[in-house]
Amino acid sequence: MFSNEIYYCEPVYRPPSEAYSLLIQATEGCTHRCTFCVSNWGKKYKVRAFDEIKRDLDTARRIYGTRVEKIFFLDGNAMSMPYQNLLEITHYAKSLFPNLKRASLYAHSKDILNKTEEELKSLADAGLKMAYIGIESGNNDLLEAVRKNQTAEDVIAAFHKCFKTGITPSGTIILGLAGRNRDLSVRHMKDTADLVNRASPVHVVTGKSIPPWYISCLALMIPEGTPVHKDTVSGKFTPMDSDEILYEMKIFIENISDDVSHCIFRSNHASNYLALEGVLRKDRDKILGIIEKNLKDKSDIRPEFYRGL
Ligand SMILES: C[S@@+](CC[C@H](N)C(=O)[O-])C[C@H]1O[C@@H](n2cnc3c(N)ncnc32)[C@H](O)[C@@H]1O
Ligand code: SF4
């Protein structure tokens, strides 16, 4: 008798664009401890054994048949899995689901840098087509303060490596990460725009068409149990309000250069005060117009109680 239950190590988080994907627990927790992130605290990092993952994939095959088109490998940084394990589960998933269009996962920039170009190419060929990478900020002081364990240069190198190997990178930026600190907030946004300008595929992909890539903004949430929550309660950290967050997004968009093209920009994650979508740099003025309007009339601002992670 087979069980019809797929194992999850709760709570699980996935990007908004993976809402209809089959979620498969490949790792548990995360190898990092960023001060703002809830997905690591309370979970012990673990790479699940192939047999356990295989059992869940087999169960999903029995439940959904061959309908599955997208798979998202949980957890916080599933790209940290050893190359062979990741290749094996991607191959197995593809063998069960012939209609699979892509497998994807969360990846810390260093998980990508720790794999060779050949390994990343093989993973992409096997079906691992997208990596969600936490940029958070392009400002190295802020990255250090939030214990991100990466620099802007690491993120740029990781994006370039993805473009060269056929993995689509999707980067997330956290608005409000500097808290109510005007000087750091401006540096946060200018340096983040600079990082995105330098991460653009135009710097590494030559002789063929520029691939689409993704940049999303999230707005800082203060989850209980995290160091940023402790600092907020003690008064050491003051969160920004919706106007300040919008103003940060404005600085970011204003500083995007002509180097950026084919970049799908979104702020549709539930943490945001203002949901936007456009293509950078093409739609820069349109996006800025909507931000300006909402700074004045707040007509599209999401109420605080609707925000979430
Ligand atoms: C579950 S994490 C996985 C990302 C991946 N481990 C990495 O670091 O590159 C996904 C993203 O959610 C965002 N995030 C996590 N905690 C957040 C918070 N408290 N407020 C807003 N965004 C947050 C960050 O952008 C983070 O990179
Ligand atoms: S943001 Fe990413 S790297 Fe940092 S703790 Fe969360 S899951 Fe891990």
Element (H, E) at 25: strand 22-25
pLDDT of 115 strictly over 90 = yes
> What is the arithmetic mean of pLDDT over 210-221?
95
pLDDT of 94 strictly over 70 = yes
pLDDT in tens, 284-299: 999 999 999 999 999 9
pLDDT of 232 strictly over 70 = yes
> What is the arithmetic mean of pLDDT over 76-101?
97
Specify the pTM.
0.97
Band (221; pLDDT cuts 50, 70, 90): very high
Question: How far away, in angstroms, is 170 Cα from ligand 1 center?
Answer: 12
What does the alpha-carbon distance between residue 26 and residue 47 come to, in Å, rounded to a whole number?
Answer: 6
pLDDT on residue 206: 78
The verdict on the CB of residue 40 being under 6 Å from ligand 2 is yes
pLDDT of 177 strictly over 80 = yes
Band (62; pLDDT cuts 50, 70, 90): very high
What does the alpha-carbon distance between residue 12 and residue 6 come to, in Å, rounded to a whole number?
Answer: 13
Helix (H, G, I), strand (E, B) or coil at 22: strand
Q: Residues lining ligand 1, judged by CB closer than 6 Å?
A: 13, 30, 36-37, 39, 76-77, 106-108, 133-134, 136, 172, 174, 218, 220-221, 223, 271, 309
- Report the 10 Å Cβ neighbour count for 272: 22
Question: How far away, in angstroms, is 221 Cα from ligand 2 center?
Answer: 14
Question: How far away, in angstroms, is 76 Cα from ligand 2 center?
Answer: 6
pLDDT on residue 1: 60
DSSP state letter for 11:
S
Question: How far away, in angstroms, is 106 Cα from ligand 1 center?
Answer: 9
The verdict on the CB of residue 110 being under 6 Å from ligand 2 is no
pLDDT of 218 strictly over 70 = yes
Ligand nearest to the CA of 270: 1
Give the position, in ligand 1's atom list, of the atom nearest the Cα of 172.
Answer: 25
Give the position, in ligand 2's atom list, of the atom nearest the Cα of 77.
Answer: 7
Question: How far away, in angstroms, is 40 Cα from ligand 2 center?
Answer: 7
Cis peptide leading into 182, omega within 30 of 0? Answer: no
* Residue whose structure tokens are 């930026």: 173
What does the alpha-carbon distance between residue 9 and residue 115 come to, in Å, rounded to a whole number?
Answer: 26
* Residue whose structure tokens are 């993995």: 167
pLDDT on residue 39: 67
In the chain, which ranges are continuous DSSP H helix?
A: 50-64, 83-96, 109-113, 117-126, 140-145, 152-165, 182-199, 227-234, 242-254, 284-297
The type of residue at 132 is Y
Band (2; pLDDT cuts 50, 70, 90): low
Question: How far away, in angstroms, is 265 Cα from ligand 2 center?
Answer: 21
DSSP for 82-136 reads -HHHHHHHHHHHHHH-TT--EEEEEE-HHHHHTS-HHHHHHHHHHTEEEEEEEEE
Helix (H, G, I), strand (E, B) or coil at 206: coil
Band (41; pLDDT cuts 50, 70, 90): low
Band (3; pLDDT cuts 50, 70, 90): confident
Average pLDDT of the chain is 95
Give the position, in ligand 2's atom list, of the atom nearest the Cα of 30.
Answer: 8
Calculate the alpha carbon distances from 113 to 10, 28, 73, 293 in Å.
28, 21, 19, 41
Token reading at 6: 């797929």
pLDDT on residue 40: 66
Band (207; pLDDT cuts 50, 70, 90): low
Band (65; pLDDT cuts 50, 70, 90): very high
